[in-house]
Structure 1
Amino acid sequence: MKKSQHSYMFKTAYILFLLVLVSCKSTTKKHHITSDEKQPNVLIILTDQLRAQSTSYAGDPNVNTPHLDNLEAISVNFKNAVSGMPVCTPFKASLITGQRPLTNGVFMNDVQLDTNAVSMAKIYNKAGYDTGFIGKWHIDGHGRESFIPPGNRRQGFQFWMANECTHNYNSSIYYDNNDPTPKTWNGYDTFEQTDAAIDYINSKKNVNNPFLLMLSWGTPHNPYDSAPKKYRDMFNPDDMELRPNVPENIATKVRKDIAGYYAHIVALDDMVGELIQDLKSNNQLDNTIIVFTSDHGDLLGSQGAYRKQQPFDESVRVPMLVHIPKYLGIKPGKREAILNSEDILPTLLSLCQINIPEPIEGINYKPYMEGKDDTVGKETIITCVQPFGEWNKPKRQGREYRGLVTEKYTYVKDLNGPWLLFNNEEDPHQMNNLVNKTDYAVLQSDLDSRLTQRLKANGDQFLPGTHYLDKWGIKVDHLGTVPYKKH
């Protein structure tokens, strides 16, 4: 070999070595799960109609929730979390797809989520997880007590003990995996479903694959007087302290209803305690992400109204506790960021080191929780596309709206223009509507502009609900509600 050739080859090799060295140094350091750390399990505990204000860790004077308090102490608490469309089916669809309702087309109860959706369980299945669903489904749209066969109507969930929807908590039916014969939970279904979840978790303790389990309770959704007697006896309606925004003319009814509501809450709090204890006993707690949340809240007399859909805090704000294994390096504690429904899935995927598919629209809050990104969670959108049911247009003056929720303000407009403006720091019960007041004109203009920009970015033209019903082929009755049947 000639000397010039040898010199050229040496220089080339040296340059390549330097490039590799520089490349290695510039690579961002990531946490990799070691051989001693399994990929984390995921347990999602979903309640129905539990407002963020109604736990003792949130300061409610009427109720004691020690197990939720303990969970909150070891979790990230998104204390400003909202349900972007505070209704059962739309929330569930956003949770499972990571998409906003006008993207996945689910903006009313009792409609079907596209069976070809890129959904939570399908993604986790592909990543090697075992997946299971127990409890209330409510995104199938074929009848509230109909059998949902294995396949895409189950959105990828493998293990199955579920029904579409019922609020008969003491005699509710379910379907077990592949069996089309309806079965009945033996007693209060929140207890029975929790036992089934514990059995599922126990079955996975010596299995190599991690699991994703969604436990979807129907409580504390009304009927409020249907918790077991043991729990109902804990609450005397006369002793209930009402929120200041409950009108006096309905106070007697609200005290009775809220006593039953708290009975359900204490019952589910006990079930949270059983789940945590089982995870501890099986040495699974330190390797399990737990999400505790609700699909929406319940006004329960606040603003003179009941249930959900409306843009007030008792309807929109939801509990959002995320217990994260210590080895992921995220400290527990309260967070100010306003996490929305579609943000849950991408955040979970990131925590589990699973790639986030393109159709997902939500924000990944893992960098925020790590203290690496403080730009997210400053504001979010709340929406009502088509008011229906308990807030229908003809009888209840329901209205389409779009709203902007920030760390300090709630601003909402309907099809006629600005509707609500609250300073939530100075007026936490939203009793002083500042909309169109001269002193707040500059603030209102700024919030309106920000809301308009976000709607434009989301492709939301904010048209009457009938436009979206026609677009998605949704049929409604004279009250604007999707008719549903049991079977």
Structure 2
Amino acid sequence: MPQETRPQPNIVLVFADQLRSSAVGYNGNPDVRTPVMNHLAADGVVFTSAVAGCPVCTPYRACLLTGRYPLSHGLFMNDVRLPESERTFGEIYSAADYDTAYIGKWHLDGNQRLAYTPPGPRRHGFGFWAVGNCTHDYFHSLYYCDTPEPLYWEGYDAHAQARLACDYIRSRDPQRPYCLFLSWGPPHNPFEWVPQNYLDMYAPDALHIPPNTPKPVRRDLAGYYAHITALDEALGWVLEAIRASGQEENTIVVFTSDHGEMLGAQGYNRKQLPWDDSVLVPLIVRYPAAQRPACRVDVPINAPDLLPTLLSLCRLTIPAEVEGTDLAHLVTGTEGTAPDSALIEVIAPFSEYTGPEWRGVRTNRYTYARTLEGPWILYDNLIDPYQVHNLVGDPAYNALQAEMEAKLQGWLERTNDTFEPAATYRERFGHVDIDERNAIRYTP
């Protein structure tokens, strides 16, 4: 259908928490069962170099929703409230006469993790609301709608959230477009809090352990995969609801994650690290009405790029304050330009990660990061996909290291980052009520 006669597309953006790019079948994982994700990947555009530029929960969500980088919106640690002055997907799409909805984990309303977010500016334009700020108690998961009376998801929360998303999709007026966010807590730990039938699919001793994992955590890996398979089934329900609504052709489906999970790789757990297990995330975009033939794209794409890209696909104006890059042409197959690298960074380490602050870049082939002390890591991910051979200081790679450093300096200039110690940024943005792990004090 010609663009000028095509109706405004719907948006269904589904994202998991702590799902690394290597933990899906369509990227070659031999163990995890993800038939729905695999089918979606076969129908859509797969971004193989998608990164969570600031790989931790709250910062990613702020970058995703605003299209801006952490030193612009100020959220580079968990449990910080997104300023009401920041415009998000919800406000922008509501102003364009879309129905808007957010279901699941929010983690943008400050350090009261189980508190109520009342209707108004703290919901940032999302109309339909079934949200908990932050919990990973997957079988006793609290959320709120439009009153301060807490509600609880029935059973495994990601499944209940998916069912509500299906109800929302089925109830839409086909004459009015909608923008739906479905935000899951899994596969974030605890890895054992998953329905038993999914755990039974994975025998820990039968799992393949990557060569970058010195102390295999087989039981955790089995639980991690069980969560992912549970999410895969729930994603199938959502996709079927879209199909049954008659709106599949004109619905943009996005599937991604807020960051990865180290799971013992390089000797680390969780996130906030520059290795691919932490920063590289799945990203699939399917838009049957306007996308190119299904393919894999290796152009780097970062969280702030999703808002301008989707606005462009919807033929809506991109606000001037948005800092991400419009990469819609990579979905449609038309002409366009794109950055050759993506910024990755941890501005103020906290909680599990007790190492140094760092800045880096990820291209479609190389990863480079430095600390305040100097260059830290450099990998050729084509010949070293598990990132076990650090090339920093190798004379044979001096030219490459200099090239990657130049790319990083370009990003630091673009984001107005002079790369100071973490305390400088915490003080600048008022993030000073911190505990002994340098984390914002929060009420669980």
| TM-score band, normalised by shorter chain | over 0.9
Which of 318, 340, 343 is the matching residue for 1:378? 340
Worse overlay, 338-347 or 206-215: 206-215
Task: Report the equivalent of 2:258.
Answer: 295
C-alpha displacement of 1:331: 2.8
Shift of 1:33: 4.0
Give 1:370 shift: 3.4
| Aligned counterpart, 1:469 | 426
Whole-Å separation in 2 of the counterparts to 1:183 and 1:450: 48
Residues 1:479 and 2:437 are matched in the alignment = yes
| Aligned with residue 123 of structure 1, among 75, 84, 92 | 92
8 Å CA contact retained: 2:340, 2:364: yes
TM-score (norm 2): 0.98
**Residue 155 of structure 2 aligns with which residue?**
187
- How far apart, in 2, do the equivalents of 1:439 and 1:235 lie? 43
Aligned to 1:412: 369
The question of whether the paired residues in 2 share the 8 Å contact of 1:90 and 1:108 is answered with yes
Unpaired runs of 5+ residues, structure 1, are 1-29, 393-397
Give the AA of the match of 2:155.
G
Q: Which residue of 1 aligns with 2:16?
A: 47
The 8 Å contact of residues 309 and 391 in structure 1, kept in 2 or not, is answered as yes
Give the number of aligned pairs.
Answer: 443
Instruction: Give the aligned partner of residue 192 of structure 2.
Output: 225
Identity %: 43
Cα offsets for 1:415-474 (capped at 9, x unmatched): 101010101111000000010111111211121122112211221101111111111001
Matched residues in 1 for 2:335 and 2:121: separation?
A: 36
Q: How does 1:204-353 map to 2 (within 5 A)?
A: 204=172, 206-247=173-214, 250-251=215-216, 254-326=217-289, 328-353=290-315
TM-aligned CA deviation for residue 378 of structure 1: 1.4
Q: How far apart are the structure 1 equivalents of 2:334 and 2:229?
A: 37
Letter in 2 for 1:238: D
Normalising by structure 1, what TM-score? 0.89
CA shift for structure 1 position 280: 1.1
Could you say what secondary structure the match of 2:256 adopts?
strand
User: 1:367, CA displacement in angstroms?
Assistant: 2.4
Say if 1:377 and 1:73 are closer, same or farther in 2 by CA, change over 3 A.
farther
Q: Following the alignment from structure 1 to structure 2, what is the Cα–Cα distance between the partners of residues 280 and 88?
A: 31
> Residues 238 and 381 of structure 1: is their aligned pair in 2 closer, same or farther, counting only changes over 3 Å?
same
**2: CA distance, partners of 1:136 / 1:53:** 23
Asked whether the 8 Å contact 1:140–1:164 carries over to 2, the reply is: yes
- 1:133 CA displacement: 0.4
2-side partners of 1:31 and 1:444: how far apart?
46
**2:322 is aligned with 1:360:** yes
* 1:267-302 Cα deviation digits (max 9, x unpaired): 000011111111111212111100000000001111
Aligned equivalent of 1:435: 392
CA–CA distance in structure 2, aligned partners of residues 350 and 448 of structure 1: 31
Tell me the distance in 1 between the aligned counterparts of 2:93 and 2:293.
Answer: 25
Aligned to 1:23: none
What is the alpha-carbon distance in structure 2 between the residues aligned to residue 376 and residue 64 of structure 1?
A: 33
Give, in angstroms, the shift of residue 32 of structure 1. 3.3
Out of 114, 117, 130, the residue aligned to residue 83 of structure 2 is 114
